[in-house]
Structure 1
């Protein structure tokens, strides 16, 4: 083989991996699709890679034409939704029949799709989602809030703390600090919000929390206190259904007493919510 004939694929590979590094550094979601096996005639060969964005665009690399594209893009969407990698095997109809599987069926962690192109080749593609760190937004700087921030950072969360600067007595362990409760330019990832003001700005923080999109909203305080705040905020025009989505008191019932224990119980509850889709996918 002429050495120059091998240069373009290598260049494409380097470009893909450079973009992977850039997207990871920018905390942006994407899928890395890699051809791991081919049989017979296929457009792409083992080792070919492509980067797929959440909107379905292939922004770098190449994994073949339309024969595999639809199945890989569907797998990419599903992977971004549940955070789990998967294998896609695109095969001609006769080989699927020999295996006793139908197009779209999953078996032993492999999703099968039919190759309807004349080439009738087989291509296995590993689809790996790369997601930004989950976002934990904490309103308040109570002892529970500060402990929650520290523990969450250790578990890989991107932590934002919002509270009036005057309430801060020390620099919290957080990726982002916001003066006050106006949540602007938040980290774009799956988001969890905890109000832990504990008497200082409860109403303002709770009003902001329920107006912010998140997979989980919680309030560190008793049911009685939350009920009183709910009644007051509804009277001020806050949507009752939004307030009803707030978990109060925050956290799993672990018998927690100290701020550190309460923070741990909240993170445990967030973990249950965060992993819910992934547990379903694994069954």
Structure 2
């Protein structure tokens, strides 16, 4: 098996395992370079090259920097590693960007040019829903159409219909969840509120929300704190869940929650894109 095929096999395995990584591909070389067009490498989320080859130290630093940025904002980018004299002819310096290309200096004696396409491959965002209410079921169905990996946790006795979810858990013991940008929503609506909320705040996520009134949330907060729960963790839960769109039906409430999650999900990416535009 060739190294190229091995890299593609590992790409498939890492995608199936919902692991974040970057696929770097050499798309063009000029003069003498260690790697040639078509060479590929997989860069893990921790910055290590786990498979493949894209050349030595002449390109490695620039590619790894671009990989970190790509994982942060989810956007692919092109890196062009060139000797200083060619950069000067183009009127750019190392670190400059032009027309979507980030330039880097090749300080190696070979003085070759190498263009590398850096493509982030991110796991599906994870939506964890606790509860079997109509809002919970509608939220699961709508989220799946938007590409979320949906985990629905509820007592089997509370389920009146088969949830449209990737993973279904009987009860509120979530166990091990896939590593991705995670959002957690409690939509029990009177059936297991305390147990679900306790499990939710114990789960690391970028967003926690509770489908219910502020008064109900305040009552649950008091009970959980009396049982020893962390007040700060509970206070981080958005209640009521969702943007104020005047939603009434379960489907509309679910849509308002997804709108709020989308805003949170894209917040960091928008900031990264705006920073890149200013460079």
- TM class by shorter chain equals over 0.9
For the residue of structure 1 that corresponds to 2:160, the secondary structure is coil
TM-score w.r.t. length of structure 1 = 0.91
**Are residue 35 (structure 1) and residue 30 (structure 2) matched?**
no
- Which segment is superposed worse, 74-83 or 203-212? 74-83
CA contact (8 A) 2:27 2:115 kept: yes
Structure 1 outlier segments of 4+, above 3 Å: 97-102, 105-108
Shift of 1:40: 2.2
Shift of 1:63: 0.5
Shift of 1:99: 3.4
Query: How many aligned positions are there?
Result: 274
TM-score w.r.t. length of structure 2 = 0.93
Deviation readout 1:132-178 (Å, 9 max, x if unpaired): 11110000010000000011111111111111122122221111111
1:3 corresponds to: none
Shift of 1:184: 0.3
Distance 1:100 1:225 in 2: 63
2:187 corresponds to: 196
**Are residue 82 (structure 1) and residue 88 (structure 2) matched?**
no
- Which segment is superposed worse, 60-69 or 37-46? 37-46
For the residue of structure 2 that corresponds to 1:275, the secondary structure is helix
1:184 corresponds to: 175
Distance 2:91 2:221 in 1: 56
Unaligned 5+ runs, structure 2: 275-279
Q: Match for 1:263 among 254, 261, 264?
A: 254
Distance 1:250 1:102 in 2: 48
Distance 1:254 1:129 in 2: 34
For the residue of structure 2 that corresponds to 1:111, the secondary structure is strand
Unaligned 5+ runs, structure 1: 1-7
For the residue of structure 1 that corresponds to 2:176, the secondary structure is coil
For the residue of structure 2 that corresponds to 1:271, the secondary structure is helix
2:109 corresponds to: 118
- Which segment is superposed worse, 55-64 or 196-205? 55-64
2:207 corresponds to: 216
Specify whether residues 281 and 106 from structure 1 end up closer, same or farther in structure 2 by C-alpha distance, changes over 3 A only: farther
Distance 2:10 2:178 in 1: 20
Distance 2:214 2:97 in 1: 44
Distance 1:202 1:133 in 2: 27
For the residue of structure 1 that corresponds to 2:150, the secondary structure is strand
Shift of 1:216: 0.8
Deviation readout 1:67-98 (Å, 9 max, x if unpaired): 00111112112212221111112122233333
